[in-house]
Structure 1
Amino acid sequence: MLQMHRFRSELSAQLIFALMLMGLELLAVQLQSAQTAPYSFLALPQFAFGFAVAVLFCYGAQFSLSLILMSGLMLSLTWTSFAPYFPVEDAILPCLFLGIIFYLLKGRLPTFSGIRSSRIFLRFVIVGGGILSLIFPLILLLKLGQESSETAQATIKTSVTAWLSAINGCLFFFPLLSEWCFADSREKITLKTMPSPVFTPIIFCITLIVGQVMFFRLFANFIPVIIPSFWLIFLLALAAVRSASLPVLFLLTCTSLQIAATMSGGRGYFVQHLPQSAMINSQAYLFALTFTTLIIVYFRREASEHAKSMQEIISQLRVKEEALDAISQGVMTTDVHQKITYVNKAFRSLTQYENEELLGEGCDMLKGSETSDSAVQIIVDALNQKTPCCVDLLCYRKDGSTFWNELTLNPVFHEGEVHQFVAVHHDITWRIAAARDNSLAQVVFENNLNAIIITDADARVLLVNRMFSEISAYTLEDIKGKTPRVLSSGMHELTFYEDMWRTISAQGYWSGEIINKRKDGTLCSHHLSISAVKNQQQEVTNYIGMYRDLSNEKNAEHRIANLQYKDQLTGLANTVALQQRVQATLEQLRQKQGDHSAALLILDIDHFKYVNDTLDHHIGDRLLVHVADRLGQFVRTQDTLCRQGGDEFKLFLPDAGRETTTEIAQQILRAFRDSFMVDDHQLYITASIGIALYPDDSTELDGLFRCADIALNQAKNSGKNRFLFHTKSMTNALNERVALEQELLMAVQREQFHLCYQPLVDVKSGEIDGFEALLRWDHPELGRIPPTKFIPIAEENGYIAAVGTWVFNQACRDIREALDAGITMPPVAINLSPKQFQNKNMIEELKETIDTYQLSPGNLGVEITEGVLMNDPLASQTTLMELRDLGFCLSLDDFGTGYSSLSYLKTFSFDKVKIDQSFIRGLSAKNQDAAIVVAIINMAHSLGIKVLAEGVENETQCEFLRDNLIDEIQGYMFSKPLPWNETLNILREHRHLPPHLLRFPETTRTLLLVDDEQNIVSALKRLVRRDGYEILTANSGFEALEILEKHAVDVIISDQRMPGMTGVEFLSKVKELHPDTIRLMLSGYTELNSVTDAINEGAVFRFLTKPWDDEKLRASIKEAFQYKHYADDNHQLSLKAKETSFELAVSNRQLAELIDKKQSQIAVHVQSLEIVREALRHTSVALLGLDDTAMIAFINDAAIELFSSVNLNFGEDLNFALPDLYALIMETAETIPAPFMFDGKHLTIRWHHLGSDSKAKGKIVTISPQEI
């Protein structure tokens, strides 16, 4: 029945179609025969053809048979009735051919479901309107061979007109049928749903009125001008944009009818103004009008449907997102690169991250330090292999808290490729915790120190733990299923157990002491607790019993009671026991009459910390035990020895005076001379002892302890390995120290500090080369307090930081004052303490202070001691390098007195080494100090480091240091530390060293005459005065030695026989102290043996006899001065060679440092250039780097690809490879864009000079697509 109904419906539709088409054809035939429409005789047949095409496209090829039958019927009618008047092939044959084409294609054409996009409409216009409509002109063109040339031209024009008319017919009917027949594509129009309910009627009226005015010359009297044809196209396009489809099609139909009406009447726009081509122009205009309007309609519909579909997709996605947000598991999706693309609400709540923090990030955001690497590897393998996986891993929330995550990962495939990954996160922390709790409960049960037994409601054993088996010796297999009665010892009455169970029934638990029997029959005392376990119905399901061994507890209590008065390590009495004993003894002594004394000794092991640090603490503990055993040998019965803690012991002698105490203290120190064998270590240690006496030092317990402790500290400070009795001076010193600490806190605020400046003198030039700032404290009551007294206190108590800050600020303030006064201020060296040097903010504070006073680091120097470097050499090296890079001069102070590591001079970049004054004080040419000083100078100079000598107090020291190439001196010989105003005075005076003390002094000739006879001295003086010598005289060897201490002497003439000291003894002493002098002996009394020995030993240069020959004596003296002159010249040359060597060493050092610095900078630049090169190589913009000769020095991947046709490579000449590009670069100014054509591509080039200075080092050329 359904098929029959469908057959009847299709048959009815085909009959209706045939009748409508026949009516259109008959109307066309009648109009043709009547010859009433000279301009429209072609339009109606083509419109009928268009109607047929539209029906066949909309309803399918099954209507082709109706079209063939109808066309055949019409052919028969027209050939019989209208053959004389109407050309059959022009009107009916196209429909017949159309029907045959569609009949042949029946079953091969796609099903049409309405115009749903502009592509379908354009396809119809091309196929239906453009190709199928060619049937009309083809039929007309067949007549060309039978007509004259003039008729043939008219036929061609008519054919084109007919083709356009057929296309217009298709465009007229196809949209109407499509909109009407396909209900799902029709637009239902009401005033509510109309896009513009006010605009649509208005635009319709305006369009119809404009059509009437344009085609029928309506209101011609009022509108004299002719409205342009594009106005109508504009109005219809505007209607298509703002109105619905059906109203626009209706308006388009009305406009088409207006055009048809004006053409049928032989009037209007096209007939009056274009009479020769009115028909073809009208059809062309109608095609443009119809096509433009319809393409806008369908483009608008396509956009509307696209927006609607996008809205539906968005709605669906929102529904899905809401569905995902509704589930409790966290969901995360990533792209193929593992970048997060979506997370749901549960995931955000689980991880505490927001969308903005997650999207686009990597999947490892939840990974932390404790995340299992094996679990992460499983995920990585699944991602790489694109397979599902499920893994448990520890993840981290945003706040750092952790949670256990059950992660299920699945890849999502699209067309065989992985499109994304979906990960479901499930918080299983509770499950892991539950598993851990169960495991923990099992561990607690098994490892509980109490014995545990669990029974059922009938008191039959179910479980016992390990401790129960250890206490009772019963295993679970022995006792399982039995009642605890097997543990009964028989020591309790039956009523005991009845009361116990009665209490359990009433209260649910019982606890008390009980005596049980072990498996072996022995008895044991326990504390038993029994608890009843009930279910929700309050029914007893189990009993839990816990045993605790009371014997162990009581033993522990007894042991604790004993340990209250014992030292656990040594077994000696502890402080509590000692205090009780001393207190009791003192009370007894107070009650006794007569002189009674007691002594308290506090002993501390020297350097015990080194034992712990080097050999470990267990060796230190063993050593303390050995010390306690050895001290026990000197303890009498009435004495008490205790260990205070650490390495401190106390010994109380209740009946001992000073003599007995001294003897015991000496015995103890002697006992420490023997080594202690601890395991395989033979240890030698010493001890310090402080002693307080009763009643001399104190009659109270606390007083004795305090006095003994003060004495101990004094013993340690005095060199250790000794004992000292307490004295009042110790307490006074301690009190003074405490008071000094309090005063030191306020010294800075009260402005009690001031700085003195001691000059540093350059031996070569003799000028002041710098100052050392020295802190002085002038207390209004205590007077001047030396730095050696308060600096250690400041170091120990941490006050040194504030003091050091004050010193640096004051020094900067003084330097600024000098500079403002126009005085050239050499650098001022400031001592930094270890505490200051370890301050992490020190450098920033120094920079801030320097900036405050507008100074440079070159105005200041920094002095540190070796002790500063020993704490942390690596950090010290970093700090020193930062100070040196800033421009500070670095000096190593007090070198030779401390650790004196030679590696420090190599490792740390010091500019200057200061030799401690202890080596300078006793300096002479032959002693050990001189050897040490010379070694330090030579070693420092070989490393390119300057050397300064501290404490230079006389010219002899200065000359020795000068001759050994010291660079600078500091000491009272030149100047003591001066207050600031006096410092400014010596700078204004330009004070310098005397010329004879300079490294290269001016040549002077000084002669010393020594004789005990004044007339001999006067005669010699008269003789040599005319030779221009500076003459000094002395009447004894002792007087001459004093002169030599003060003056530089070249030649000495001495008598042999002088009272108190002979000439040989004197000259031998001079040779030792002043070896550079030339020594002559002039005497009439000669001991040839002693003189000969002196000459052989070099003490005497030449021996002359009295009386003398004046000329020979003068010649000998002249020869001695020449010899001295040659020796001085050689010495000067040697000094200059050493100085040159030192300057070369300094230059080499500076060069090495500069090279190291430059190499480091070059390494950084090279790394940066490699990074830049890689970045430029992979950038999307084509880049070329050219040197000054136009050779390609750099080319990135984009440029290689762009110029692949010419195979452009690194090192080629651009002028040879791309001459056009080279010429364009040469012609174009820098940074100016210029167009360039290459391989049909429009490009833009720009070039820039390379190099930061005025001299260019090449060009960089960028090539980019030309912007249009």
Structure 2
Amino acid sequence: MRASDCPTVDTPEFLLAALEQASQAVVIIDGDMHVSHFNAAAELIWGVPRTEILGCDARCLGFNDLQNGADSEITIRRNDGSRIRAQLSVSRVEIGGRANHMVFVRDITAEVERRERIALLNLVADKTNRAVVVTDRKLQVVYTNAAFSGMFGYSPEEAQGRQASQLLAGRFTNRKTLPKLRRRIYDECGTEDEILAYDKNGDEVWVSAMVKPFRSARGRVKYIFALLTDISENKQLRSLQQLIMSALADELPITEIADQLCRRVEAIAPDVVASVLHVDSDGLVHPLGGPSLPEDYSRALEGIAIGPAVGSCGSAAYFGKPILAEDIDTDPRWQPYKTRPLEVGLKACWSTPIKAKDGRVIGTFAFYFRECRAPSRWHQRIVDACVHLGALAIERKEARAQIARLAYHDMLTGLPNRAQLRELINQAIEDCAPQKQLALVFLDLDHFKDVNDTLGHSAGDALLIEFTKRLRARIQPSDLLGRLSGDEFVIALPNCDPARASLVASNITEALTSPLWIDNRQVPISASMGISIYPDNATDIDTLIQQADAAMYKAKQAGRSTHRFFSADMNRLAEQRLVFSAALRQAIANDRLRLVYQPQTRTVDGALYGVEALSRWHDPDLGEVPPSKFIPLAEEVGLIEQIGLWSIREACRQMAAWRQAGLDVPCVAVNLSPLNFQNAKLAAVVAETLAANDLPPQTLMLEITEGVLVNERSAAIDTMNAIRKLGVGLSLDDFGTGYSSLSRLAHLPIRELKIDRSFMRNIERDASALAIATAVVRVGQSLKMAVVAEGVETEGQRKLLAGLGCDVVQGYLYAPAMSPEAFERWLLDHVAEQALTMRRCVDEARSQPTPSLLVASTGG
């Protein structure tokens, strides 16, 4: 019994004798806080004899504050230096009529140590990230740690007393695993098992469970200890990653990868049916994986366009964000598509877009549920992993497709390239029905090089793309369209006779009559076409293409924007073109071209303004080849730039020779191709050539066509500015026939405008030609540019131009283009004639009476 329950006694001796026999230490302290009794048990606890303690102040024992009826703990420092932990119980008693404190002291050192060990174990258990569960032998929970609460959401109070299986098992927990665990408990195998458990909210948690028994001294199972590790991410999700990465490394087809992904997902989330779709660049859906979906349902999805109300997947792809339909039956987005899913028990669908690195939606990953519900946290974690894996797989598929396109398709237009086209046409020839023909149409865009040189290659690309679209619109799906190179295209028309081929070509010509708008500029578009017929003209693809190519050149010679059929004599023309091309290359390489010079005279006084240098070619075998033939040929075969640079060097050499001979030729004009002005080194070449011939820059004028000026961002503008900084003049040739606008001339480094010879023919009779010439002269005057008229052949044309204020004329009225020697003779004659004319004018002026004399005689 407790000391506080002891009655008051009057016989201290009896009390003291009883206390002396007690097993518990007893210390009596009088009212002055002195020790009056210290029994044998107390001597053992403190390790000192009572003789040293009796009469001493109680504080020497560690008694600093004695409260009646209160229990407390103190640390006792023993005489040998050791320490023990003791529990005090204090009672107030009267002995001999005086109030005393009786203190019962019990050594609890072992209990404290055991208690601290338990607290430490609890602390460790609560700090681990593994859930700890202890149950009794009937599997009722007696202990859970903090990690268990974090993992499953149950507080210790909620978990205690519950059956472990009822607490953690759920609808899709493998019930076969639980008996197996029980057997292992009693067998003490110590192995781990993976179990799909459920938390308080019903969300799935994959755990690895290690279960062991605690036995009593008799060997009976007293408690069961379970250590649970969340392996949802560390193992289950990583297994997904390993599966897909291994499949990618093995170069498996995308459909097989998607199938494996869906099957693995359905194994770790048994309550879902997984699906993977690919979304192509046109926004069309293509099933990749969905092994648990009905096959007919997957087939029905093929080619469906994504949209804002196209089920969960089509909507997710359209909006680029997850879409959840908790009830397919009532969701408005599912109404046209719900029948088959509902028939097989799929009641909800959650779809998440799969995005490429550049943000494009390239697919969807979907979960179908067998009940109306939203996804769980576990589902979200799976989807987060699978969307990334799906992106890797689909992007690899796109990369492979891109490689195939690079190998077999033209990247700009998407058409089959030369290699693929040959295979397709050969197959079409093999498939050609007996007694049937195949027409092969060779198309070449007219003046495409001018567009590239003037508007830039981006405009050229835009033109090719639009050209492709218009061709597609005029042929049948069974016809073959491909791009050979540059602006050359081929159309193969299976089972097509010449009449239908001609109709197709005419339709294409009609489709190209509408000009294009490129960079806010209207650009005309047309094509020349050649047609060869299988098997009438040839039976192999190479010959057919060569024949159609020859026919196409015949169409160009006929004025372009038309078509021609191949005929036998075209082989001769094609061979002739090859011969001329080779001869022209040799002529340039061996310096066989020459320049002739046509004078330009001032309308005011007839004085020499300058000369225009014009290229001529005489071949030892081919004879005299006119510029109208070899200049277009040079443009087609890529030699025109070399001719332009040669012309600059030769013209400057000739000017230096004339100056040394004392001939006064103010300036020489050299025609250049737009391609020359795309060369950033042109200004440096010009400067070097002038310096080598000791010529001042104003003696050289470079003529350009106005097509060079169309693209303000073109490198040609920078080249023009660099040339003008040298002091070299720039003349705008054939003004009024190209693409440029008058408003831009003021901002360009042009010194001279040339009226095209085409306006001269009818300028005396045609009001339109006269109006154009007048406009050009007025523009030149307003911008302080010299105006030169080409092709002047009659005195009437000269007088009319002089009346308009045109500065310079050039043409057969004065002289044709001449060799340097002939021009020298003409110049001497022209100077002499000018001097004679001037003397005649002076003599006539002297022979006339002065105005003052006339007035005087009249007045008289």
- The TM-score bracket by the shorter chain reads 0.3 to 0.5
* Normalised TM-score (structure 2): 0.45
Which has a greater percent of helix? 1
* Normalised TM-score (structure 1): 0.32
Which has a greater percent of strand? 2
Larger RCO (alpha carbons 8 Å, 6+ apart): 2
